[in-house]
Structure 1
Amino acid sequence: MQNPVSPRRKFVRAAMAAPYLTREEEHELAVRWRDHQDTDALDRLTTAHMRLVIALAAKFRYFGLSQSDLVQEGHVGLLEAAARFDPDREVRFSTYASWWIRASVQDFILRNWSIVRGGTSSTQKALFFNLRRLRAKLATGTEAKSGQALYDEIAEAMGVDSKDVALMDSRLSAPDTSLNVPVLEDSGSSSDRQDFLVSEEPLPDEIVGGEIDAERRRLWLKEALGVLNERELKIVSERRLTENGATLESLGEKLGISKERVRQIEVRALEKLRTTLMADHPAIVGSVS
């Protein structure tokens, strides 16, 4: 009894069996699709180039993603190429489509290879897809290099910083690690890696305590302001208790006095506040200046 042929093998066989198109046939089908949206012409045009999709997708098989997914993404690029192709230019469709197929596959790899988004710039993308090849080439032979010397050589060849090469190499060498993975998987412990992350934010009780203390000081200050006369209160309020404190000169114009006189009144008012607060609440010493 023969083993059943998998759907993937059937697809590959069908793609490889599709007839090649002559330049004239290709041009005719492309014109029919562009001018009349003839879906039969589109189907014939893309089917004849699926072997190109499979061949280009196979070049990226070492990134650990499903070959079927890569072919599917390559087909998306093929359809995009068909939608944008101008048959009146002296360019074969396969030449034009190769760029779109490769770009679609590479974008899929960058989106799915790691849970951490990377390689967003053209330089980073080139480094991501060429680092393995360049590293293998430079690490073998009579003048093999390793370590920093290897990074420097690759950086010079690609026109990037050697630090970027080292960072990308570390990303390609180490798999992603989830913060939800138990620290000791075989110990039965319920502690995840994220449980050991140190936060620089204050603890909840510290936040609440700070809010309570701040509210208490506001009440103390409000009570202490009662010892000031009307002019002292106006100067302190506009100089010290507003987000954008008024200048001595502007307050002097409002009150009809010199800015030096405003400064003197302010100093005296602050001293009265300090004396009152120290007498009633010694812990607040130094909080008003």
Structure 2
Amino acid sequence: MLAKNWKDRGHLKSAHKLVTSHLRLVAKIAMGYRGYGLPVSEMVSEGNIGLMKAVKKFEPEKGFRLATYAMWWIKASIQEYVLRSWSLVKMGTTTAQKKLFFNLKKIKNQLSATNSMGDLNDEHVKEISKRLNVKKDEVISMNRRLYGKEKSLNDPIKAGEDSGEWQDWVVDDKLDQELKFSQSQEFNQRKKLMNDSMDILNPREREILTARRLSEDIATLEDLSKKYKVSRERIRQIETKAFEKLQKAMLNAAKSN
């Protein structure tokens, strides 16, 4: 009924309820990407944007559950954010590259497939290639890129060797400049949507909402009640009101796009 009211009549309260009822799903999915060293709050924000898109595009008459449909959008938004933020150089956005990026570490651990330099032997490359249905040279390439995450492109490959710099090993993909621009533009639009929506909150609302829903270490009602010298119930009311204002602003923005 909620999904139908939103789809057929553009009923914002119904859309709001659909979003709020799936926030735990966003948080759960975002926590699954903690291993990439990025702020959980940022991944939750990206996941929320994916959830908004799912609600906007959801077609209840097709018989699918919103949670099932939204999961794809949430994961896609978070994965795109991880790919954009994590890499020193472009990791690539093909299906094979994404599959490798998000599964290579897990499979390597399962196979105990690493030496002191992080390299893979031929047997492990073959097994990973088979499991993920990708080419062996793609496995090798992604492993090199992932292992060299924290290195500068101008660092020598090995100390004391005249084997060049890391940038000599980076494949020049001759990226289409329009594609690069569109990707950065989309990222900026998403960040602007969140930031603009946050701007409608007063400072106290913004601080409480961030502390309660967007921080890695979630503050308790008790902690915040002491900080702001109000009751725990008052903190809960401010949090709820701030979240409703934020969701309404984001839904309005999404609907107008």
The TM-score range, normalised by the shorter chain, is 0.5 to 0.7
Does residue 103 in structure 1 map to residue 103 in structure 2? no
Determine the C-alpha separation between the residues in 1 that align with 2:141 and 2:23.
36
Determine the C-alpha separation between the residues in 2 that align with 1:170 and 1:180.
16
Does residue 112 in structure 1 map to residue 85 in structure 2? yes
Consecutive unaligned residues in structure 1, runs of 5 or more: 1-27, 141-145, 182-195, 198-289
CA deviation map 1:188-224 (0-9, x unaligned): xxxxxxxx98xxxxxxxxxxxxxxxxxxxxxxxxxxx
Q: 1:147 aligns with which of 96, 99, 121?
A: 121
Q: 2:58 aligns with which of 85, 110, 115?
A: 85
Determine the C-alpha separation between the residues in 2 that align with 1:169 and 1:177.
14
- Report the 3-state secondary structure (helix = DSSP H, G, I; strand = E; otherwise coil) of the residue aligned with 1:88: helix
Q: Is the 8 A contact 1:33 1:42 kept in 2?
A: yes
The answer for the alignment partner of 1:30 in structure 2 is: 3
**For the aligned residues, what is the CA RMSD?**
2.3
The answer for the alignment partner of 2:207 in structure 1 is: none
Does residue 173 in structure 1 map to residue 173 in structure 2? no
Q: TM-score, normalised by structure 1?
A: 0.49
Q: 1:47 aligns with which of 12, 20, 23?
A: 20
Q: TM-score, normalised by structure 2?
A: 0.55
Give how far 1:174 is off: 1.7
Determine the C-alpha separation between the residues in 1 that align with 2:24 and 2:36.
20
CA deviation map 1:46-86 (0-9, x unaligned): 00000000011111110111100111100011000001101
Q: In 2 relative to 1, CA 129–179 (structure 1 residues): closer, same or farther, beyond 3 Å? A: closer
Q: Is the 8 A contact 2:49 2:74 kept in 1?
A: yes
Question: How high is the sequence identity, in percent, across the aligned residues?
Answer: 38
Q: Is the 8 A contact 1:114 1:176 kept in 2?
A: no
Give how far 1:180 is off: 8.2
Q: 1:162 aligns with which of 136, 146, 160?
A: 136
CA deviation map 1:229-285 (0-9, x unaligned): xxxxxxxxxxxxxxxxxxxxxxxxxxxxxxxxxxxxxxxxxxxxxxxxxxxxxxxxx
Match runs of 1:123-272 below 5 Å: 123-139=96-112, 147-178=121-152
Determine the C-alpha separation between the residues in 2 that align with 1:106 and 1:51.
18
Q: Is the 8 A contact 1:127 1:158 kept in 2?
A: yes
Determine the C-alpha separation between the residues in 1 that align with 2:124 and 2:59.
44
Determine the C-alpha separation between the residues in 1 that align with 2:6 and 2:133.
42
Larger relative contact order, structure 1 or 2 (CA cutoff 8 Å, min sep 6): 2
Question: How many residues end up aligned between the 2 structures?
Answer: 152
Letter in 1 for 2:50: G
- Report the 3-state secondary structure (helix = DSSP H, G, I; strand = E; otherwise coil) of the residue aligned with 1:91: coil
Give how far 1:177 is off: 3.6
- Larger radius of gyration, structure 1 or 2? 1
Q: In 2 relative to 1, CA 87–68 (structure 1 residues): closer, same or farther, beyond 3 Å? A: same
Q: Is the 8 A contact 2:3 2:60 kept in 1?
A: yes
Does residue 70 in structure 1 map to residue 43 in structure 2? yes
Determine the C-alpha separation between the residues in 1 that align with 2:59 and 2:12.
17
Q: Is the 8 A contact 2:88 2:149 kept in 1?
A: no
Letter in 1 for 2:139: V
Give how far 1:39 is off: 1.4
Q: In 2 relative to 1, CA 180–127 (structure 1 residues): closer, same or farther, beyond 3 Å? A: closer
